[in-house]
DNA sequence: ATGTGC
């Protein structure tokens, strides 16, 4: 299948549509949120073919959607949103991704960039020492089976109960860092074993811990509500459920592929394997996915503990504590209520490389954010800007309350490695005041800024589409990578 | 993304 420009209709500025009539198996139209230039870039890979494939999944409603940072992924595009009818529509592990509850959080300090500049190199080294990173790497905490089950059930709350964090953090996390449908019994022993020493570790690839400063404020009222001010030093943490979530995805993709024929489901790409949510396999996967999501929230909480420890070691025990601004998941499926064609429906929203972005009035928000909308955290690539946005009510109308999740990959990892001289890049970043601490030059090359789309353009497109609005821009000062 | 691959 090939998709050409003439197959795409401009619905409005920044919203494009491949109509349902494009392919007989489509149940709904496929939509793209993008500027014209980004749309051209999106057409370079298989993202739109995958988007059209998603539009044929059983129970899919409204439209299959992609964000301006989209690129191709396993079956589903990364940067995609798919809502299926609950409880008899499809659930598909490929629509969530291998790194279940990969996500981002932002910690805010009371210090400004000028004040900490002279300690930056020391800080980046101390953070690198405190935060285990890299492929297959374990950390300090070894969970016994009972503790593992508690983590899978309680999520970030486990970190609070065990002295790694204060209770206040929980209010500042999507779903309070805990999904109630989790069932540890649905997670394989292999997955538990792989995760047993991985709490508090970032892993590799695009995962990182980064010290940034607030470079620009676009919306002073929202910024004040979120506790952001110009020049302020903040910390971005990007990671997920590590080997545990990966194993859950592996286990259930296999099981669901085998079970699919029993439900008479045929999909255009085997990587879209799915079953009805209310089938045995579907329910088991959902319970395991929720457990893996809880593991990821606990992981980001323990990493925050490590960052806070490094902070005290460098700035002294009585430095003002780092506060959690917010924590968002961007690889997850959630049961939500949405208005579709004038009808209120319960749906399972698959967000794969997409962030929840409900607007003002949304219930699951701390009270000081409720009139602003949900914070959306958009990390850029290494050495470029990141953004804090606020979800807008328009997202509830056109994107099932979702927004983009990053800059979006432009080059494959292999292509990036060919083009980038990592030691030179590391030096160049240091010259412009960004300290990179990485376990491997391979990781630096794969994550080089040229491997990514222009985050400024992606965020501008989001703002113009109306699904979220810009609150602040962040600039990096120090990066810890795997 | 991932103890990097049927």
Domain boundaries, position A245: 5-410+452-481
Sheet holding A64-71, edge to edge: A9-12, A15-18, A30-33, A64-71, A78-85, A343-352, A331-340
Report the mean per-residue pLDDT for chain A: 96
CA distance A306 to A300: 10
Q: Is residue A421 part of a domain?
A: no
In chain A, the percentage of residues whose pLDDT exceeds 70 is 100
Q: Is residue A415 part of a domain?
A: no
Question: Quick one: pLDDT band at residue A247, thresholds 50, 70, 90?
Answer: very high
> In the 158-197 stretch of chain A, whose C-beta falls under 7 Å of nucleic acid strand B?
190, 193-194
Strand partners, A329: A103
Contact positions of strand B to protein Cβ (< 7 A): 1-4
Q: Is residue A32 part of a domain?
A: yes
**How distant is C1' of B4 from CA of A277, in Å?**
31
Cβ of residue A357 lies below 7 Å from strand B: no
**How distant is C1' of B2 from CA of A98, in Å?**
8
**How distant is C1' of B1 from CA of A241, in Å?**
10
Q: Is residue A433 part of a domain?
A: no
**Shortest-distance nucleotide from A205 CA to C1':** B1
Per-residue model confidence as pLDDT tens digits over A248-298 = 999 999 999 999 999 999 999 999 999 999 999 999 999 999 999 999 999
Cβ of residue A203 lies below 7 Å from strand B: yes
Neighbours of A219 (CB within 10 A): 18
Whichever domain contains A345, its CATH number is 3.90.1860.10
Backbone angles phi, psi at A478, to 5 degrees: -150, 140
Number of domains in chain A: 1
Q: Is residue A424 part of a domain?
A: no
Residue A321: Cβ-neighbour burial (10 angstroms; 0-12, 13-18, 19+): middle
Cβ of residue A469 lies below 7 Å from strand B: no
Q: Is residue A444 part of a domain?
A: no
Six token digits for residue A235:
């910390």
**Shortest-distance nucleotide from A247 CA to C1':** B2
Q: Which H or E run contains A254?
A: helix A242-259
Give yes or no for residue A39 having a pLDDT over 90.
Answer: yes
Q: Is residue A264 part of a domain?
A: yes
pLDDT of residue A187: 98
Cβ of residue A406 lies below 7 Å from strand B: no
Q: Are strands A30-33 and A64-71 parallel, antiparallel or unpaired?
A: parallel
Lowest mean pLDDT among A24-33, A47-56, A358-367, A415-424: A415-424
Cβ of residue A257 lies below 7 Å from strand B: no
Q: Is residue A30 part of a domain?
A: yes
Centroid of chain to Cα A35: 22
Rg, Å, chain A Cα set: 21
Residue A262: Cβ-neighbour burial (10 angstroms; 0-12, 13-18, 19+): exposed
CA distance A332 to A350: 6
Per-residue model confidence as pLDDT tens digits over A344-398 = 999 999 999 999 999 999 998 999 999 999 999 999 988 899 999 999 999 999 9
Backbone angles phi, psi at A194, to 5 degrees: -65, -30
Active site residues of A: 405
**How distant is C1' of B6 from CA of A308, in Å?**
45
């Amino acid at each position: 299948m090939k998709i050409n420009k003439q197959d795409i209709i401009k619905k409005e500025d920044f919203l494009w549509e491949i109509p349902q009539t494009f392919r007989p198996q489509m149940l709904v139209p496929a939509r793209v949120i993008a500027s014209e230039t980004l749309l051209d870039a999106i057409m370079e890979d298989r993202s739109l073919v995958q988007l059209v494939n998603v539009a044929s999944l059983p129970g899919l409603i409204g439209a299959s959607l992609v964000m301006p940072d989209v690129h191709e992924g396993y079956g589903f595009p990364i940067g995609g949103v798919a809502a299926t009818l609950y409880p008899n529509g499809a659930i598909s592990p490929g629509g969530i991704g291998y790194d279940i509850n990969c996500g981002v959080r932002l910690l805010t300090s009371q210090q400004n960039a000028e004040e900490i500049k002279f300690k930056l190199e020391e800080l980046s080294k101390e953070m690198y020492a405190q935060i285990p990173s890299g492929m297959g790497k374990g950390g300090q905490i070894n969970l016994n089976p009972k503790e593992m089950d508690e983590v899978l059930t309680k999520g970030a709350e486990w970190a609070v109960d065990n002295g790694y964090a204060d209770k206040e953090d929980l209010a500042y996390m999507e779903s309070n860092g805990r999904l109630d449908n989790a069932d540890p019994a649905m997670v394989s022993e292999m997955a538990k074993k792989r995760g047993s020493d991985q709490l508090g570790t970032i892993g590799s690839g695009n995962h990182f811990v980064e010290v940034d400063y607030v470079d620009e404020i676009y919306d002073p009222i929202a910024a004040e509500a979120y506790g952001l001010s110009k020049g302020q030093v903040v910390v971005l943490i990007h990671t997920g459920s590590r080997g545990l979530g990966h194993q859950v995805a592996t286990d259930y993709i296999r099981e669901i592929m085998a079970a699919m024929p029993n439900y008479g489901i045929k999909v255009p790409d085997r990587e879209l394997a799915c079953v009805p949510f209310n089938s045995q396999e579907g329910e088991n996967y959902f319970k395991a996915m929720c457990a893996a999501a809880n593991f990821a929230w606990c992981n980001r909480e323990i990493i925050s503990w490590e960052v806070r420890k490094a902070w005290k070691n460098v700035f002294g025990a009585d430095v003002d504590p780092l506060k959690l601004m917010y924590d968002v998941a961007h690889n997850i499926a959630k049961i939500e209520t949405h208005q579709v064609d004038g009808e209120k429906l319960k749906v399972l929203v698959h967000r794969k490389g997409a962030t929840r972005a409900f607007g003002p009035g949304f219930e699951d928000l701390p009270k000081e954010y409720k009139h602003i909308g949900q914070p959306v955290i958009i990390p850029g690539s290494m050495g470029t800007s990141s953004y804090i946005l606020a979800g807008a009510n328009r997202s509830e109308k056109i994107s099932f309350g979702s927004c983009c999740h990053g800059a979006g990959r432009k080059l494959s990892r292999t292509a990036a490695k060919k083009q980038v001289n990592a030691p030179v890049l590391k030096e160049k970043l240091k010259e412009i005041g960004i300290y990179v601490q990485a376990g491997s030059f391979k990781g630096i090359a794969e994550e080089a800024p040229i491997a990514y789309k222009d985050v400024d353009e992606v965020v501008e497109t989001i703002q113009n589409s109306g699904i979220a609005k810009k609150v602040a821009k962040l600039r990096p000062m120090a990066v810890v990578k795997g």
